[in-house]
Structure 1
Amino acid sequence: MLPDEKRSAGRPSGRQAVFFLAGFLALFFCFFAVQSHALLRPDSFTVLAEKAGGAVVNIRTEKTTQSQDRVFRHFFESPFGENDPFEEFFRRFHGDNNPQREFRRQSLGSGFMISEDGYIVTNNHVIEGADKIRVKLKDGEEYDARIVGRDPKTDLALIRIEADKKFPYISMGDSSTLRVGEWVMAIGSPFGLEQTVTAGIVSAKGRVLGSGPYDDFIQTDASINPGNSGGPLLNLDGEVVGINTAIVSSGQGIGFAIPVNLAKGIIAQLKASGSVTRGWMGVEIQPLDPAMASYHGMKEAKGVFVVRAIEGDPAHRAGIRGGDIITRINGQQVEDTKDLILKVAAAKVGETIEVTVVRSGKEKKLGVTVARRDDAGELKKESPPEPSATEDALGLSLRVLDENMAERMGVDRDAGLLVAGVSEGSAADKAGLRRGDLIMEINHKKMDSLKAYEAVLKKAKKKERLQFLIQRRGQFLVISMDREG
C-alpha cells in the first residue's frame, strides 16, 4: 500500500463527509421540530392546573323572587278558560290580586382570587340581585362574600371574602399578546362540578356579540358551560388572559371570555370606588368605508368618521368638527368605531388625550380633555321634506334648509342642500340618492347654496365623475355618478 493510500484509509472520503453532515443536520432539525412542537402543545396541563386551581372558587348565590302561587291560582281565574265572555269581570275583581309567594332561587358560578386579601373577580350576572353570596375554596372552606362593585356594561363584578389568612391568587397577564391558535385553559364549576379543568385554543379575537358597546370577546373552543361564568381563562404561563362569560347554547366548542386587558382598569375602579367611570369625548361617529376614505384622500379605511361633535362637549371645545376622520388616539391607530369607544372609555376623566384627525386631506393633532361618559340621549331622526317643483339634469329636486329643518337635523343652515325628490330612472336615482338626503359636498365643493350646486354642474364636463358627500339619517355616505347631458 502506498503512503497516500495509508493516510486516506483511516478517514472518510469527501462524499462520505457530506453524507455524514447531512444526516447530522437532519437529526438536529428533527429534534428541534419535536422540541418546538412540545413547546406549542404541552404534554400535560397538570402543573398549570395545580398552580392555578387553588385560586379558583365556586360561587353560590341566593335570590328572592316573587311568583303567583299555582296551587291557589285557579280559584281566582275564570272557570270558562281563555275565551270567557266574563273575562273582563274576573280581571276587574281578581285579575292582579292573586296570592304571591316568595321563592328562594339558587344559582352557581365561578370566580378567581386576584389578591391574597380575598378580592375575587367574577361576572356581574353571577351575583346580580343576590341576597346572599357564598364562596367555596378548593380546600372545602366556605365564606360569605360581599359585593365590592359591579359593572353591568362589561358583565364584570368584584366581591370579597375576609379571614385571618392569606389566600392563593392568580396574576393577570396581557391579553393583547394572545394569538389565534394559542393554547389556553379554563377552570370553573360547570353545572356545579367544582374545579373542572378544560383546555383548548384561542379560536378568534375581537368578537362582537351584540351585548353592548364594549364587546371585544376572546373566542375559545375550551369547553365552557353554565357555571363556568366568572372563571379564569389561562395562558400556559398560568396567567389570567380572560374571564369566561358566555357560550353559544346551540353550538359546541364555542365559548367567549372578556379580555383581561379590558377588565384590568374596570377592576381597579371597582376596588377603589365600587363603580366605573368611563371617558367621554362627545362625538357621534360612524364606520369609515373605503369610498369615504378615498374621498378624503386616505389610502386605507382605518379610522372613524365624525358625524357631529356635540356642542359644548370635550371634542367640540378641542376643535373637532363633523366631517373629521379620527385616525389615532395618543399615537395609537384607531381601527374602527369599536376601537375608538374602547380607547376613549379607558382614558381617565380629566386626562388630556392627543387626537389625530384628517381634515380636508391633512392631518391635525388636537388635545381633548376627557369628561365623564353619560349614556343618555340620542339624536332625533329628521323627517323627509316636502317635495319641490324644480328638477335638474341629474333628476334631483333640491331645497335650501330653513331654520326648523336645520334644527331637526342637528346641522347649520348652510350645511348642505336637502333632496326633496328624485326622478325615477334618473342618474341620481341609479346612483342611489334618496329623498331626505342632505348633499353637503360635491367633489369637495361645499353645497351651501343652490348657486354653488348649479356652478358645479355647469363646470362639470359630460361624463365627468361627480362625488357626492351626503348625510342620511345621521350617517355620512359618498355616492358617485357621471355627469350626463
Structure 2
Amino acid sequence: MNEENKRTSADNGSYDTTTNTTASANPTPVTTYTYESRMNTSDLRASYEKELGMHMDMLKPSMGGSKLSKRNSRNSARTMLASFLIGAVVIGGFSYMADKNNLFSGSGQPVQSTGSVVSNDANDNAGLSTASLSTSDGIAAIYEEASPAVVKIETYAEPVRSNSMMDDPAFRQFFGGGGQQEEQQQTDEQSSGNLELMGSGTGFFFENDGYILTNEHVIADAEELQVSVQGYDEPLTAQVLGSSYELDLAVLKVESPDGKEFHSLTLGSSDGTQIGDWVIAIGNPYGFDQTLTMGVLSAKERPITIADEQGNHEYEHLLQTDASINPGNSGGPLLNESGEVIGINTAVNSEAQGIGFAIPTSTITEVLDQLKANSL
C-alpha cells in the first residue's frame, strides 16, 4: 500500500510537494515539486538548499562502507536523479523570476511593449512613440473638427446651344424657319438668366470671414457659383477673387447671412511631412457630401501632366497619396494627423488604384495673398 502525504502552502507562494513512501526495508522518499509563480527568488533558494541538504544526509549512510549493495546503489541513483530534477526546477524558477522582474535589464521596472509607432525624438534610442492616428477616436475627432469648414461648390452656366442646320441663316432662307418671332424668343431665354448646373467640386474656408480655397478647374467657365455650407439651409453665392490656371488655384469669397464667423482650417506645412505620414481627405466625390477617406503620404515632389481643353497642363511638386481621391474631391483639403491642411486634392490617376495628387501648401502660401488681391 502507498501512503500519500500532501503539503500545500499556496498562500505564501512556496512549493506544493507530494512525498511517496514505499513499505520496503530501505524507504526512499521521492519528492515532486510544482512551481508557484508567486514565490520570490529568496524563497526558491531557501527551499532548494533545504531539500538538497535532506538528500545529502540520506546519502551518507549508503556511502560509509567500502562496498555498496545493489539496493543501496539503486537508492543512491534515485536520490541523485531526484536532486538533479530539483536543481532543474529551481534553476528554471530563477530564470522565470529574473525575466518576470526584469533583473537583467538594468532597471527595476518591467518593460511594457508598444504597438506600431513612429517618433522623431532624438533622445529615444529605440525611436518609438505612439502615433496620433492609431485609434478610430483620433480620426473621428479630426473629422468632427474639420468637416464644418469643408464646402460643396456647384457651378452654373448657360446651356450650350447645338449647332444644327436649323440655326444656319441660309437654311432658314430657303427652307423657312420660325422667323423673327422665334429668334426674339430665343434671345429672351438667353437673357433671362436660366442657368444650368454644369458641375460640382469641393473647397474649404481658410479664413473665418468667408475666404475659400479651391481648384481653378472647379470654377472655370462658371457664370455663377453656389456654395453649400454646413449649418445653412440655402447655398451661398460666391465671388471669385482671383485664380491661376497654371497653379490650378482659386480663392472665393462668401458673406455670412447671419454675421457669424465660418469654421476655418489652418494651413500647415507640407515641407514638414514625411513619406508614410497619415493623411485624411474630405470632399464631395460623385455628389456624396462630406466623404472622409484616409491613407498615407506616398511620395513628395511628383510632376505630372494632365491633358485638358487648353492642352497639356504641367503640375510640379505635388504630394502623392493613397487616400481615395475621386471626381468631386477636387479642391478639398488633404489633412495631416493634427488636422492641418497640407495640400489641396487636385487630380487622380484614373487607370490606377490609390494614386491621388494634391497641391502642397508650400506652393499655396507663396501666392495666397496675390490670389486674394487678384494680382497674380
Query: Would you call these one fold, judging by a TM-score over 0.5?
Result: yes
Instruction: Give TM-score, length-normalised by structure 1.
Output: 0.46
Distance of aligned partners of 1:253 and 1:22 in 2 relative to their CA distance in 1, 3 Å threshold: same
Question: Which of 267, 292, 300 is equivalent to 1:205?
Answer: 300
Question: Which of 31, 43, 52 is equivalent to 2:146?
Answer: 52
Question: Which of 133, 144, 152 is equivalent to 2:237?
Answer: 144
Distance across 2 between alignment mates of 1:134 and 1:76 = 32
Distance of aligned partners of 1:63 and 1:205 in 2 relative to their CA distance in 1, 3 Å threshold: same
Kindly provide the CA deviation profile for residues 218-260 of structure 1, in whole angstroms up to 9, marking residues without a partner as x.
1111111111110000001000000001111222211110001
Q: How does 1:117-132 map to 2 (within 5 A)?
A: 117-132=209-224
Identity of aligned residues (%): 37
Contact 2:151 2:227 in 1 (8 A): yes
Match status 1:215 vs 2:322: no
For residue 131 of structure 1, report the CA deviation from its aligned partner: 1.0
Distance across 2 between alignment mates of 1:49 and 1:173 = 16
Distance across 2 between alignment mates of 1:124 and 1:17 = 67
Match status 1:31 vs 2:114: yes
> Runs of 5+ in structure 2 lacking a partner?
1-41, 49-89, 119-127, 176-182, 307-312
Distance of aligned partners of 1:49 and 1:209 in 2 relative to their CA distance in 1, 3 Å threshold: same
Instruction: Give TM-score, length-normalised by structure 2.
Output: 0.59
Contact 2:325 2:348 in 1 (8 A): yes
> Runs of 5+ in structure 1 lacking a partner?
78-88, 277-485
For residue 178 of structure 1, report the CA deviation from its aligned partner: 1.3
Q: Secondary structure at the match of 1:197?
A: strand
For residue 145 of structure 1, report the CA deviation from its aligned partner: 0.8
Match status 1:182 vs 2:277: yes
Kindly provide the CA deviation profile for residues 248-274 of structure 1, in whole angstroms up to 9, marking residues without a partner as x.
122221111000111012112212x21
Q: Secondary structure at the match of 1:39?
A: coil
Distance across 1 between alignment mates of 2:46 and 2:117 = 37
Distance across 2 between alignment mates of 1:130 and 1:241 = 27
Which residue matches 1:267? 368
Distance of aligned partners of 1:23 and 1:191 in 2 relative to their CA distance in 1, 3 Å threshold: farther
Number of residue pairs matched by the alignment: 253
Which residue matches 2:46? 9
Contact 1:124 1:151 in 2 (8 A): yes
Question: Which of 283, 290, 311 is equivalent to 1:195?
Answer: 290
Contact 1:151 1:275 in 2 (8 A): no
Which residue matches 2:253? 160
For residue 106 of structure 1, report the CA deviation from its aligned partner: 2.2
Q: Secondary structure at the match of 1:236?
A: coil
For residue 165 of structure 1, report the CA deviation from its aligned partner: 1.2
Kindly provide the CA deviation profile for residues 361-413 of structure 1, in whole angstroms up to 9, marking residues without a partner as x.
xxxxxxxxxxxxxxxxxxxxxxxxxxxxxxxxxxxxxxxxxxxxxxxxxxxxx
For residue 137 of structure 1, report the CA deviation from its aligned partner: 1.0
Q: Secondary structure at the match of 1:114?
A: strand
Q: How does 1:423-434 map to 2 (within 5 A)?
A: none
Q: Secondary structure at the match of 2:230?
A: coil
Contact 2:210 2:262 in 1 (8 A): yes
